[in-house]
Chains A and B, each alone.
Chain A
Amino acid sequence: MLHTFKCLGRYFLLDVESGSVMQLDKVAFEIINARISGTGNFASKTKKELEIEQEIEELRERGLIDSPPTVHAKRKWDGAIKAMCLNVSHECNLTCGYCFAADVIATPMTEANMSPELAVRAIEFLAANSGNRRYLEVDFFGGEPLLNMPAVRAAVERGRQIEKETDKVFRFTLTTNGALLTDDIIDFVNSEISNVVISIDGRKEVHNAVRKLKGIRNDGQGSYDIVVERAKELIKKRDKRAEGEKKNIFNDGNTDYFIRGTYTTKNTDFVSDVRWLYNEGFNNLSLEPVVLADGHALALKDSDIERCVDEYERLAEEMLRREKKADRELKFFHFNIDLAGGPCESKRLTACGAGYEYIAVDPMGDVYPCHQFVGQAEYRLGNIAERLCHCEERSDEAISCKEYSTRGIASSALPPRNDALNQQKMKEFSGFSLLDKPECTKCWAKYYCGGGCMANAVMCGAGIKGIHKQSCKLMKKRIECGIALGAIEK
């Protein structure tokens, strides 16, 4: 399968099955398009057309075009979990108009915060059920995770202990609204958290219209000023740390961060928000389309999507202009495509791994396929608090303790085994891939989106094997921009 496209005033060809990318001149673009559509006139050829025909033949000989459809082996999940979203708090100090967790934030206060003991057990559960995976990922999420720092600190401490006892490596991510980043917390985060995601939507008025503070003194006020001031402080210290670690060319020393914003129907001109954030001094940016049910005041309308597609093109143009000036780097998460490498075929087919490799744990220990499913009872996979193991009190749990002790992870508080979760449901999730979506198997973008987000598909009523059409259109444009920018860089 071949896909041709024009982006940034240039012409490109993608060989879908191999991932090979070519840049074309206009005539080559037209000839290849004519071949794809079967409308080419092959009777008489100019010298230039003959040259292009020869070059196309060379590409074919090198296996760079017309790659045959891949025969995908049926993937079998080995039972290992490698990533966990730890919702340590379902309280929040902000009230945001588009929050997908708004329903669970209403949980009674007594159940809003995860106990440090449960946070520790969640880490142990992940380590004990991670099979031969070495890199384990934990994202502190919520609500606002900084409202429960005791649980965050306890989880990190236990993770570091496990690293010393085994060959496991924990990578912690913190997703925060940033307003509660005290100097003390910043020092902890920069020391222990490998990736920090701070939510800022862009222009001050855009951010403040949606992301408002809660509280007696400042209820309803926009959070922009405090969040930006705190984010700058964190990144200033993080950059200083990075300077000291320049020898680590893979940037693996707790130096990653992203300013992550959400755009809605109110700011489909989001290039202005990217520009604004860049001018505030932030280099690593991600701006996401809001995903809300139809009818919500902030939901993107179908009529917004074409404008958003054009806006991505404008953003790519702006990034190209900045790159030429090379004054300061601007990274946009969704344009960051590694044309020379990237994930393997297996990863590209299965995407996020929600429900089997990736799980979300709420403050009471309930487990869901991912952070977006939290609170949806029909998708609950089980509970890791219910099966806390107390051998001395419950003799029927002794077997699980014994099994656990053979895994080489010493613990005084033994976690439950993987069968605390509904294995049948997890196996079902492990079978979901883009191969189950006929529309996706025929799509040129399939190896970049992996079939899309299951939670988004459920939210829009398409079902777990369905497609969120708006996201699909936006994804395709982002991929084209990412490929074009990557190609021009070369």
Chain B
Amino acid sequence: MKHIKVIAEKPIKKGAETGCGECRQSCQSACKTSCTVGNQSCEQITDYKINRVVGSKK
């Protein structure tokens, strides 16, 4: 496409496989007064990668 560049394709995950509740509580990161939920990461993905690459529970 010449005029439109796709940057991100449907990143918001929905459905039965989601909502595990493991993601970091947003005020535990850095804010404490102005909650931003969209800049958190998905713990399911992180957990998968950590277990695969590091092989540790932490």
Contact = CB atoms under 8 A, between A and B. Distances in A.
Interface of A: 12-13, 17-25, 27-28, 48, 51-52, 55-56, 58-59, 62-64, 67, 70, 75, 78, 80, 82-83, 85, 100, 133-135, 137, 139, 167, 169, 171, 173, 175, 195, 197, 247-250, 252-253, 258, 260, 262, 284, 286, 288-291, 333-348, 351-354, 357-358, 370-372, 447-450, 452-453, 456, 471, 474-475, 478-479, 482, 486-487, 490
A14 B28 CA distance: 28
Contacts of B29: 173, 195, 258, 333
Given A167-B57, A341-B45, A286 B30 contact: yes
B15 to A, nearest CB: 8
Interface string B45-58: 11101100110011
A344 B32 contact: no
B36 to A, nearest CB: 6
A346 B16 CA distance: 10
Contacts of A134: 22, 47
Chain B: interface size category: 35 or more
Contacts of B36: 333-334, 448-449, 475, 478-479
Given A288-B31, A347-B40, A449-B38, A20 B21 contact: no
Interface of B: 1-14, 18-19, 21-43, 45-47, 49-50, 53-54, 57-58
B30 to A, nearest CB: 4
A22 B7 contact: yes
Contacts of B31: 260, 286, 288, 333-334
Contacts, number: 234
A352 to B, nearest CB: 5
A487 B7 contact: yes
Given A347-B37, A357-B21, A448-B38, A371 B32 contact: yes
A342 B50 contact: no
A345 B42 contact: no
B54 to A, nearest CB: 6
A137 B25 contact: yes
A64 B40 contact: no
B25 A82 contact: yes
B31 to A, nearest CB: 6
A471 B4 contact: no
Contacts of A100: 33
Contact of B25 (A52, A286, A357): A357
B51 to A, nearest CB: 11
B16 to A, nearest CB: 9
Given A51-B3, A249-B53, 5 more contacts: A70-B14, A133-B21, A341-B42, A343-B38, A475-B34
A351 to B, nearest CB: 5
B21 A19 contact: no
Given A70-B14, A137-B24, A342 B4 contact: no
B3 A336 contact: no
A289 B45 CA distance: 31
Nearest to B45: A341
A267 to B, nearest CB: 16
A371 B32 CA distance: 8
10 closest A-B pairs by CB: A448-B38, A346-B19, A344-B18, A83-B25, A450-B37, A19-B12, A258-B30, A339-B8, A286-B30, A21-B8
A61 B48 CA distance: 31
Contacts of B37: 343, 347-348, 351-352, 447-450
A342 B11 CA distance: 7
Contacts of A13: 4
A17 B12 CA distance: 8
26 contacts: A19-B12, A20-B10, A20-B11, A52-B4, A85-B27, A134-B22, A135-B24, A135-B43, A139-B27, A169-B57, A250-B49, A252-B50, A291-B33, A333-B30, A338-B41, A342-B39, A343-B38, A344-B12, A344-B14, A344-B42, A351-B26, A352-B25, A357-B21, A357-B25, A448-B36, A449-B37
